[in-house]
Every structure is written in structure tokens, then in C-alpha cells.
Chain A
Amino acid sequence: MFDFNNNPSAISRRQMLGHTGMGLGTIGLMQLLRDEGALVAADNSLSRTQPIAARGPHFAGRAKRVIHFFLNGGPSHVDTFDYKPALAKYAGQTLPTTLATERKTGAAFPSPFKFRKYGESGIEVSEIFSRTAEHIDDIAVIRSMYAQVPNHEPSLMLMNCGDSAQPRPSVGAWVLYGMGTENQNLPGFISMCPGGLPIKDTENWQAGFLPGAYQGTYIDSHHKLLSKLIENIEHPHISASAQRRQLDLLNRWNQRHSEAHQDERLDARIHSYELAFRMQQDAREAFDLADETQSTIDRYGPGVHGRQTLIARRLLERGVRYVQLWHGAGQPWDNHESIESNHRQLAGELDPAIGALLTDLKQRGMLEDTLVLWGGEFGRTPTVELGGDGSAKQGRDHNHYGFTVWMAGGGIKGGTVYGATDELGFRAEENPVSVHDLHATMLHLLGFDHEQLTYRYAGRDFRLTDVHGRVIREIIA
């Protein structure tokens, strides 16, 4: 789409920057340029000098931004959004399935949680996501996801980067590459994970072969100090006014230097200092919850997930393109044992926050163009996991044959269920949806033809969905 090998266009960068101003102003300019047919020329240089400047996708998308709740470790679909009453019928019996999973499992294991119907759509949801379920009429539940293998590492890569083995750009990086971000004063793609990194570490939000500018910015949301949230976001010792004086001097000298040397990158860099200066203040405001009321904070729930989700809303409001919220370091949802207590606790941390976020987005009119995605790297077996000695551990093993994700907002048809697993929830049977299909659908909602959003690397035009992917039109409003 963009060619990084090409050099600057003939457009005067200085002229252009004079118009752009900062942040949101860029969009207007991009529109102007597009109308004037100048964008093609501008794109090449923009990708170098302002790689994350906002730009339009292939067509008018329904969603402008994405928030992804990543329940890392693999949430159990049969305990959350894929009700399987038949499990009770077979409780304790060995199922006739021979699907291989990572470890050995035993008899059918009915969900310990109560399900009931919610909303006008009457979709069944587990009690542990009751607050989320209040929004079920805005949600499309995909119950027929499948992945390739029952292991975390490849499945995380598949879900996040579209390829389970090779180093490839993450979904957020592709989106940023495709459409930039609306607020140049904040990173365009932010991954928050409290307390450390998930499995596969920063690979989950990598830029792969795309330029580093598209990589996700990692934030350990456990911290409260801004300096610990974003690298180099503040000077440890001097004030903003002292720094402003530094910048004024630097600008004066850089301007003088630019006059003698024709290179758009010089101007771009002067501009980027200004953005960096503003970013310090904007980031402070975005991450500081002081201006939220106590009742808002309470609605999102206590603890780091409430805070993280509320910060995410503030980031989305400020034009951040892609926010990923992880549940925590490692793989919290990987409940091989005692799933009842573990899932209840984990969902309890997340459910109020998701409910409050959906409420707030809707109230602000943002839900219609914000795509909310919920899911893990795979689901869990409807059978009970067996320990080495053959004893049941009251947990579930990994299940990539069938699992659930859901989406809301951003052009999604609410109150929909798409696809189904078999009677017991082991394997996607009706309308199976691959991870590539999910990605194709997300890109479509953002305004991209997933086959056209490409980047030339190693002699090939790569895309997020490789050679696969089908847009699931049935869940689009």
C-alpha cells in the first residue's frame, strides 16, 4: 500500500505542516488532499515522516476504533457465552469424542454456573457475565470459532497476528498502518496488561515487518505513576516551562538548519518535537482519573481492571485507534483446575468494567463506531481435565476445536448468535469461523478489503489474513 523505499514527494513538507497543526487537525488536511487528488503523492512521504497520521481506509467503514478484551489463557465458552444444557445430561459420562487436546480429559463436566436469557434477543449468558449480558442486544456472539492447535503460544500468535508460527504484524499494527490514528499526541495502538507481560511477551503487539512506528505501545496498567506507564513520557527533573524553553531554542536552530538543507524529514522532525511535547501533557490527562466521578469509578469496579478499562475509554475518546486490554501477566484464564472458583473470580474482575464501558460508549454515541471484541486465544473442553494420576481436577483443558468470541458496536448486528458448536460444545459445527474470518470481518468493519490491505515484504504482498479470510456478513448490521 505504501512504499517505504520511495523518497519524498514533491509536496513541500513545510507548507503541509503549516496547515496540519497538531493531532486531529491532520484529518481535515488528509481529506482536503484526498479531494485534491494529492494524497497518492503524499502517502509515500507521510508514511515516513508522519507514519501514524490519520488516513482513510478503502471505503467508509462502520468502526473507527477498536477495543479488544483479551482473556488470555483461554476462557471457557461453555461457562460463559455458549450454554450447553446437554452437558448436564451426560455429566460424569465419557463422551464419544476422540478429539486430541493438550492433556488428557475425562467425563463430561457441566458448567457449574447458572445461565439465563437476557434482553429481547433472549441469548443465554452465564451468571458470571451478568453485567455484560445486560448489553446482549448490542452483542453478536460467534459460537463457532476454531483455531489450529491446542497450545497457547501458536494460538496467541494466530489470534493476534494471523499466523501461528511466523513473525507477522499484529492486528493493531495492520490497522495503524492502514488508517493511522486520530490523535498524534498519543500512541495509536496501546496494549495494557497489568502486572507484567502475557505469554509470548511483546510479540502479541509486534509490528513484524512493518516499520516500528506501528508496534503497539505496552503499558503496565498496574502502575499509577505516569513515568512508569509510558517510556520517556516525562522529564524526571525539569518543569514543562523549562522544557518549553529548551524546545524553543531547539526549534530556532532546527529551522535555521532546514533552510539550508532541502529534506522533508527535517521539517517532520521539528513537528515531531512539538507532538512529543504535547504528548506528555495529553498522556497525563488521559491516564489521570481525577476528573472522573466516584460513581463512574465505582461502576467500572474496584481493582486494576476497572481502572484499566476506564483509562481505555478515555484513550478511545481521545482518538486512540486500537486498545487491547489483557487480563494480566502470564495466562490468568488458563484454568486447568478449579474452574468454578477461578472463572468466577476472573469474570468478577472483568464483568462490571465491560458493562460500564458499553454503557458509557453508548451514552456518548461512541458505540456505533467503536468495535468491541471479547475473547481469548481458544476455549476450553466440555470435559474435565485429568491429572497425571487420572484424577479429575475440576478444570478444563484447552479447546481449539470450538470456542466463542463476541463483538459489539462498530457496525455489529446486536442480539445475534452466529454459528454453533456441537451438542456438547467441543467442536464448531455450524458455520465454523476461522480466526482469519474474524480478522477479515474486523477489517471490513473498519473499512478495509482484507485482501487489499497489503505490505510488500520478501517479494510478497503480505496481508493479515494470508490467503484466507471471509467476511461474516451475517453479523453486520
Chain B
Amino acid sequence: MKNAVISWWLRRIVLLVSFAILPPTSLHAADDEAERFFENHVRPIFAEHCSSCHGPDKQFGGLRLDSWQSLSEGSDSAPVVIASNAEDSLLIQAVRRMDGVEMPPDNPLPEKDVQTLVHWVKTGAFWPKSEVTPESESQERAKNHWAFQAIKQSGPPPVQQTDWPINAVDPFVLARLESAGLAPSPPASRAALIRRVSFVLTGLPPTVDQVQEFVLSTDPDAYSRLVEDLLASPHYGEKWARHWLDVARYSDSKGYVYAREERFWTHASAYRDWVVKFFNDDRPINDFLVLQIAADQAAKSEYDLAAMGFLTLGRRFLGVKHDIIDDRIDMVCRGMMGLTVGCARCHDHKFDPIPIKDYYSLYGVFDSSIERERSIESTDQLDPAYLAELTKREQALAERLAAVRKETADRVRGRVGDYLAAQFELEKYPGDTFGQLFQETDIIPTIVRRWEEYIRSAGEHQDPVWTVWHQLVAITDLPPAHFAAEAKQICQAAIQAKSTEVHPLVATALKTPPRNPSEIAKLYGDLFASIVQKVSADPALLSPNESGDPVFLDSTLESLRPILYGNDSPCEVPDEPIVEIELYLDIGSCEQLWKMQGEVDRWAISSGASDRRARVLVDRAKPTAPRVFKRGNSLRKDAIVPRQFLAMLAGDSRQPFANGSGRLELANEIVSPDNPLTSRIFVNRIWGNCFGKGLVDTPSDFGLRASPPSHPELLDWLASRFMDQNWSMKDLHRQIVMSASFRQADSGPSDSDMLARAREIDPTNALRWRWSPHRLTIEELRDSILKATATLDRSIGGKSVDLWNAPFPKRRTIYGTVDRQFLPGLLRVFDFANPDLHIAQRADTTTPQQSLFFLNHPWTLQQASVLADKTSEIEDARNRIAKMFQMVLLREPTGEELADAIAFVSHAEPKQNEDTESTTQQWSYGYGAMNDDGSIRQFNLLPHFTGQSWQGGATFPDAALGWIQIDATGGHPGNDRDHAAIRRWIAPAEMVVKIESHFVHEPPQGDGVRVFIARSNNTPRILTQASVHQSKAELNVETVRVAKGDTIDFVVDINTGLSYDQFLWRLKLAEVAPPNQDEGTAKNSVWDSVEDFESVPPEQVDAWQQLAQVLMGTNEFLFVP
């Protein structure tokens, strides 16, 4: 009886809470309001007045009033409800008893109910979404869905053209072609084949020599040897890692974060390198998957901890935990099993048999795991100075974190009454997506919610401290007088209850029963406050027990201690990194801790030490019991669910996970040989990335909406062989690329009727009657160009580099920085995978912006120039053209092409012309030392260009070159006199110039700078000079005669010390008529340091470079036939 009463109380509490806590105008609230209206007012009318004739049992007129589908699609006659249109809705006409339809037939609805229905229809006729597909129907379809069936082992089917198959893959392909009346294409040419297989396995083209050797080889095993060489190449792992990085939404940066936090990951490149190496080593893919979910428990080496970057390098979603976990669920389920479990976050999956409960079962797995980050480099590999500084920063962070946690807990303990009072106005404490800034004096909503959960859970466990609380809370909606009377009764009963039912100290406090709801909080609050006061007066009350934890010696007090002290107390901030607990803190502490965390991160990233780091998940000491969030709203908690695997895969024998969070168990379920999805998904991804299209064309969705496989038996054969071969990816690749199916030409069948037929009945080449040409990805394109210019850096692994800004590193594209927040537009233009999202398959578009890249991008121009330079020693134009063809297109030019190219280079315009009368090319930007005689010692060009300024490196100041910087309007000298900032002008021809310049040094601090204008060709070299500090100088030179190639240097160095030395210097050189000559002979060219400062480093462009650029822009280069 008592239990029944309590559960009645609890139901009321749940109701009360779920209505009270919603922010009144949030979007969810708008829907919630509609739902509440529907459930409280509309559905009861249907149930009471209509359902006996229009319900599950009877459907008069074909109408069910418990199904939106029925309502909106209509009865036998017409739509019954037209949302927002009450006048035309049959339902309203019927209950108003207009137009001859009168419902309910016997007694009219009360006018109030009619009005309710009118309002409901007018406001859009809200209907809860979850009822779209009846559960049973979806289950029935799921039961028969191909992807959920066990993998069938069947041998290759019989075929007619028995001489075509080369390996076991081919009969599967050929049988489908034959049954469709189609035939395969002839084999590709050997030149095409070697290019194709090289790209497919390594992402790189072969060299021209390799092509020739292969073409001329008479060795019957030549192809198979080639394949083995490619599989053994370290570039194999790079190519295939990039495909997986698309799946893993890889990024080197976190995405948008508040400025207080370091925005780059410390562990991304270690994860990327781990994937590359894993593929190169051909370790089993089931281990690959398990380690990425649970390396903390499954790894046999420190190095394998890097695997968990898969889960931990997603976006941060402004720190909102629910979204981070959602991203992880999506990665695991869609990435590994092709299940769109994320759809079940707000309601049961609409198509697949994935109930919302299963989503929250997985939610619980990840909610029971927290992030930890650490080095996986053995410490003897690291610079002791680096480690010492790292330790120092980490310790400072840890100390401050501990202090903040303690201060926060003390503050909460000091005002438990307020936190209890807050339980009665939860609507003031919105969810954790609602960002308010809190001061130390504020009540922190996250802690309010922690109390809420604590009290709720205590009630469920019939905790003797909280039983009465729940009883009292349940009557708070009574009128005041009734409340006082009923509260008194509850208290009297409680005082007499056993101490196992009502805690004695609570019973004592109840002697003064609460007269109104706010006194409930006060009553409990005062009780806890008195204990906290006792402890602060006499800390010895809490003495360490044998395991060192402080406890009360008084057993009555001790039974209350966990509420106030100890790790699980709702007063305490969990002992976790700042990333997990920021919502518990006031804004000042939060920013301070993030800053200190940033100092740790930045040291690890930018110290230059090659400290490989891993960010792993580890299990919380105590796993959480997940609760379903109704409609995905974390404030609307519903039933508790166990942490366990998906019902549809686990079947009837499903057991809750038993070890910690259950992550390892989850991982093992995913790679279980009985799981029909995982191996199919993986082999389909590999097949798809070889052929450009999977056997199933939705590679990350094998659910009910996925189209069936084009070759179901082949998919199963590949999947089961894959598992039999110890999940070897190289074996899988071998099967695919050795097949005749892979080696077909792109031309289609040689028989023209057969070709026409194939085009007609299978225009998308789903049955593989030919090879579909593959457009190079941006990675393959860039790597190929570097290979064509013989400048590709083939080193494997390491930190990411900025590829698309000068000086344009030469590493493979996979090592380029992927900054998801500032992804170069170029990458998106070339359909690079969006690093925010799991991408199963890249788009394949053709846009003018891609063409602009070939025409104008500074890197393209640079590469064209490199190619021209590399062939510049070949004097004979024909030979030079031939060499360029070999380097780029891996073949000799045809006679026609040779003629075209000869004509092109011999008629090219001079590199300077009227349109672009360029005055930018005479400038260069460097550093060196100013000798006393005005000559420059060791002039060097500045190596790095940011797009805005020239400087020592990507980070400023640069480790080696320091503060030196030159931009359009001025700059900064280097750290010493050997590093003067030098803007150099080189005379394009013999002429006389006049110089006007305006120099400014603004800061009052320091001692200013020295400024010189000096020439190279004559003495005195120094034309003018000044020492400038917080002032301006006009530095002008009346006339200087220069010969072609002479330089005039504009030099700034430090005065006696380096401090506040930034300067502005605008200067103009104008060509003037030489003395004694007519004004008219001068060309009046003007060089302006600001106007001429370009975002693109100057390049010399001649006809050969233009030709090189054309070759790189050809479709032949961009497509793999």
C-alpha cells in the first residue's frame, strides 16, 4: 500500500516537474505548449466522445480519431482536418452540426469542447510526431530487410562467358551483366591500367618510366607484381586513411569555441598518423574499430590510444554535452554500422527499428565516459626542457582546478537552502544550452539541476531523508489552507515513522510543519545549514576513516554526510577536467581555468616538440543511469534505460552492459561476426572508393530506406571473405583490383549494339559494364601536380601544415591543416569532405571556381613555373615539350599536340603587357644587415607570406627570425641589427627615378628605429637616413640614376634596443626624365609601396610556364580513365 502511495506521489512529481521547468518561449516550449494543449484538452475529447466509433476497434466511415494520418488524409469522404483552416475542416463542421453532418450523432459536444477543437485546428492542429508509423508495421518490414539478414556464404554463380573471370569477384559481376543481356568492356590499356591502379591504391600517379616499363613488360605476372608493390607502399595507408578521415569528420581544429579556449586540437595529427600506419601494417579492421571506441580498455600499446581521436575530435558544440554525445553516437553507428541511430534522439526512428530508448542506452555509454588527454610519446623521446615546462603548466592548472572546485563546493554548501528553494521555481533555471553568465554570488543552474536529480533519485530509493520531502512537494498545488492542514498530517505521520523510513533528524525538524511550500525548502535547508555550521566550527567532526575519507563519527550525522560532503554530493563539482565541468562554474573561474588549459595546449602544440598526444575517453568511476529525454529535450527526463546494445541487433538475449560504461562491450558487439552490418559496411566503403560507387549507393545508411545492393551475393561474399581473412583490408583490395571487373576499359563493350544497349538500360553503370572515369580528388590533384613537378615531399606523418599559403609546403595533401572553422574555400569548391559532418561519399561537382583555381591560383602558377624551370635546360623546343608531356601526362605528345604547343610557345606574348603593366614585380621583401658603408650584408628574402605580410614563419614572431615583418604600409625590424627589414626595389631598366617617402614611428616607448635609403650601384650608397622615435620623417631623394638590375633598398633596423619598433613607411618611386633630356622621353612609371604590395608573391610568367599550366589543366590530367 505504501509503495502504491509513493508511486502515486512520484507520478505527480514527474508531472509537476515536466510542466514547470520549461523556458516559456523557447522553440521547444512552443511545441511543448501545443503538445500539452493537445494532450490535456484535445485528446480527451476524442477519447471520451469519439473513440468508440472512430478508434482502434471500429472505424466508421474509415476514420480513426487516434491517427493523424487518418485525420489528415481523410475518411471515406474528404480530409477531416485541414490544419489552420477550421472553417473547411470536416471535423469542425461536424461538431458544429453544420451542413448535415452532426457528430457525435446523439449528444452535441459541449460548446467549450467545440471551442477547444476550433482553437486546436486554427493553431495548426498539432499532432505528436511519433505516431507516424505504427511500430508493428516497421518491425515487420525490418525483419525482412536485406541488410539485417545474416551474411550468406555462397560461391560464385555460374556464367556463360567463362574465359572472362580472373578471380572470384568476376563471376558475380558477369552473372548480373549476362542476366541483363549485357557484356563487359574489353580490358583497359596497360597505360590506363597502371595509372588507375596507382591512384586507387596510393592516390599517386606512376612515373613515366614505370608506365613505360609496365606497358612493355611481357611478364604475365607484371600486373600482380605491380599490385603487390603498391599495396606495400607507405603511400597506400595515406590514401586510404584519407577516406576514413572523411568518415571520421577529421579536423585539426575544434570548430567554433569561445576565445578563451585554444581552438586547435593537440591530438588530431597523432590520430591521423595512427590510421595511416594501421592501414600500412594491414592490422585487422575489427581491431581498428574496437580501438577507436575503447582503446582505453583494449589497447595493447600506448600508441594505440591515439585511435580514440575518432570519438574525440568532433566539434565542441559550444560545450553542450548532449550534442557532443550525439555526434559520437552518430560516428559509431553510422560510421561503423550504417545505422542512422541519431534519428532516434527525439522519437523512435521513423523507418528503422530503433526506438528512442536505444538511443539513450548508447547515450548512457558515452555519458559514463569522460575525456582525458595525455602524451603517448615515451618521455625519453622528449626534450626535458619541454617536459619541465609542460609539467609546470599542468600543475598550475591542476592546483587552480582543485581550488575552484573546493571554493564552489563550499559556496553551495553555504546556501543549500537556496538550492532547495530553487527546486520550487525550476523554470528560472533553463537547460544547459541556454548560456547565462554567472557570478560567484549567483545560483548556478547546473547545480540546481544536480540537486533536482539527486532528490529525485533519493525519492526513488525511498531514502529516509527525502521521503517526506516528496510527500510534501506532491501537495504544493493545493490551496494554501488545505496545504497547511495536509502538511501537518504528513509531518505527524512521519514523526511517528520508523527511523528506517524517516531519518530522525528530519523527523525532529518536522515538529514545526511547513505552512506553505517555500517552508519545505527552508525546513530542509535549515537542517543542512546547521550541520555545515557545526563542521565549520569544529572541522574535527569530520575525521578520516581507515581509507582516508573524512566521515562523521556520529552515525546519525554520518548518514546525512553524503548529501553534503564527498564526491557524489550534489554540493561537489565532479573531479573532472575543465571541459567536462565548465557549466558548474562562475564565469570568472571558468575563463581563468580555460586560459590555463589553453596554456597547456598551446605549449604542446607550438613548442616544436614532437609530443604525440592522445585524447581518450575513460570510464567514470560510477557510470550514469541514462534516462530518455522526451522529444530530445534534456529537461524532460523520462524512464531510466539500461546501457546496452541496440535491440534490433542484440535480439532477445540482450543483456545490459556490465563493465563500466560498457564502451568495450559496445565495440565488441559492433565487430561481432554475427553483426550483419559492420563487415558489409566496411567492404562496401572500400569497393565504393575503388569504383567510385558502392555496391550499395548509400554507404552510411543500410537502413530500410537504403536501396538494395546492386550485387547482393557479391557484397556478402566480400564481407564473409573479409572476416575469414582476419579482416584484412589489403586482401580485400587485392580481390578487387586483381579482378577483370576492375581492369575494364572506360569505353564500354566493343560491340556497338551492346554499347548502345548498356547505355540505355544501365546509364549509371550500376552493373559495372565499364570503368567509370574518376575525377581526381583535391588531394590526388595536388599530390599529382607536385609529383609532376618532381617536388613532392614523400615523408610520412607528422604535424599538419598550412598548404595553401606561401611558401606552399610540398607535403602530401593529407598532411594539410584541416581547420573546420576556416576551411579554405578552395577545398569546399573541390568537394572536400565537410569536416563538421560524417561524410560517406563526397559530392562530385564541376564549377567555374574550380577552373579559376587552374587559371589563377598562386600555387598553380608557382607549380607551372617550377615545371618550366625544371625543363629549361632543354634547348630544343620539341624535346622540352616532350619532357613536359612526360612529366605531366606520363606520355609522349602526339604530332598534332607537338605542333599546337610549338605554335603556342613561339607566339606567346611577352610576359609583360599593356593590360597588366605591373609595378609589383620590382619589389622584394627581405632582411639583412646594414653595413656602415651603406651596403647590405647577406640579403635574404623573407620566407613566409601570410597574405597580408612577409615575415619569418606562420607564427609571429618567428622562432628563428623574430619580429621582422614587412607589409603594405610598413612593418617591424628584426630583433637585432643583423635583421634589418629591407624593402628592395630592383630597376627594370636604365632610368632616372625620384623618391618620395613618409616615415612614421608612433610609440612613445623604446628608442625608435634607424631608417636608410641606399643604392647598390654607386657611392655614396646611402642616399638619405634618419633616426626616428615617436615622430615622422619625410625621406626624399631628388634623382637617382639606375641601370637595369640595380637595387634601391629601404632599410629599417632597431636603434639600441628592441622595443616598440613598429613603423609605417609609404614610399613612391617615379621615373623622371633624365637631366638634360626632354620630359617626353620618360615613361612616367610610378612605383607605390602600398599599391604594389600584392597578396600574391610575384612570379615570372613566360610562355613555357603558360604551357605547363595548360597541361596541368587538361581533363586528361584530372580524370583517371
Contacts and interface: CB of A to CB of B under 8 A. Distances in A.
Contacts of A187: 849
B856 A257 contact: no
Nearest to A4: B843
B789 interface: no
A134 B213 CA distance: 78
Given A100-B430, A258-B1115, A272-B851, A201 B256 contact: yes
Interface string B681-697: 00000000000010001
B848 A185 contact: yes
A208 B845 CA distance: 15
27 contacts: A4-B843, A51-B845, A146-B25, A149-B430, A154-B433, A184-B848, A201-B256, A201-B821, A203-B821, A206-B834, A212-B830, A212-B834, A237-B916, A239-B909, A242-B908, A249-B1107, A253-B1116, A261-B1121, A265-B1119, A269-B850, A269-B851, A273-B851, A276-B848, A279-B848, A279-B852, A428-B25, A458-B340
A203 to B, nearest CB: 7
A103 interface: yes
Interface stretch (A225-233, A293-301, A369-377, A409-417): A225-233
A262 B701 contact: no
Contacts of A263: 746, 772-773, 1119
B531 to A, nearest CB: 31
A269 B693 CA distance: 21
Interface in A244-303: 245-247, 249-250, 252-254, 256-258, 261-263, 265-266, 268-270, 272-273, 275-277, 279-280
Given A241-B913, A263-B772, 20 more contacts: A49-B845, A149-B430, A203-B256, A206-B836, A228-B1095, A231-B849, A231-B852, A233-B856, A234-B856, A241-B915, A253-B900, A257-B1116, A261-B747, A263-B1119, A279-B852, A280-B855, A434-B30, A459-B703, A468-B31, A470-B124
Interface stretch (B167-175, B315-323, B605-613): B315-323
Q: Which 9 A-B pairs have the closest CB atoms?
A: A459-B340, A212-B828, A7-B764, A211-B843, A276-B851, A239-B915, A167-B836, A275-B848, A276-B848
Interface stretch (B224-232, B361-369, B435-443, B736-744): B435-443
Interface residues of B, number: 118
Given A165-B320, A254-B1115, A458 B330 contact: yes
A246 B1106 contact: yes
B846 A6 contact: no
Interface stretch (A213-221, A318-326, A347-355): A213-221
A104 B211 CA distance: 72
Given A165-B323, A238-B1106, A458-B700, A232 B856 contact: yes
B342 A212 contact: no
Contact of A4 (B775, B844, B861, B1118): B844
Nearest to B352: A459
A243 B900 CA distance: 16
A378 to B, nearest CB: 12
B481 interface: no
A435 to B, nearest CB: 8
B27 A275 contact: no
A274 to B, nearest CB: 8
Interface string B9-46: 00000000000000111111011000000000000000
A167 B1114 contact: no
B256 A153 contact: yes
A62 to B, nearest CB: 20
B845 A202 contact: no
Contact of A101 (B124, B436, B439): B436
A331 interface: no
Interface in A1-45: 4-10
Interface in B814-830: 821-823, 825-830
A174 to B, nearest CB: 15
Contacts of A146: 25, 27
A236 interface: yes
A236 B843 contact: no
A149 B855 contact: no
B855 A7 contact: no
Interface string B1090-1121: 00001110110100001101100111101101
A78 B1052 CA distance: 54
Interface in B409-444: 428, 430, 433-437, 439
A437 to B, nearest CB: 10
Interface in A41-84: 47-52
A170 to B, nearest CB: 13
A187 B334 CA distance: 34
Contacts of A48: 843-846
Interface string B75-100: 00000000010000000000000000
Contacts of A164: 433
Contacts of A257: 1114-1116
A458 B858 CA distance: 37
B659 interface: no
Contacts of A167: 315, 834, 836-837
Centre residue among B317, B907, B1095, B1115 by max chain A CB count within 10 A:
B1115
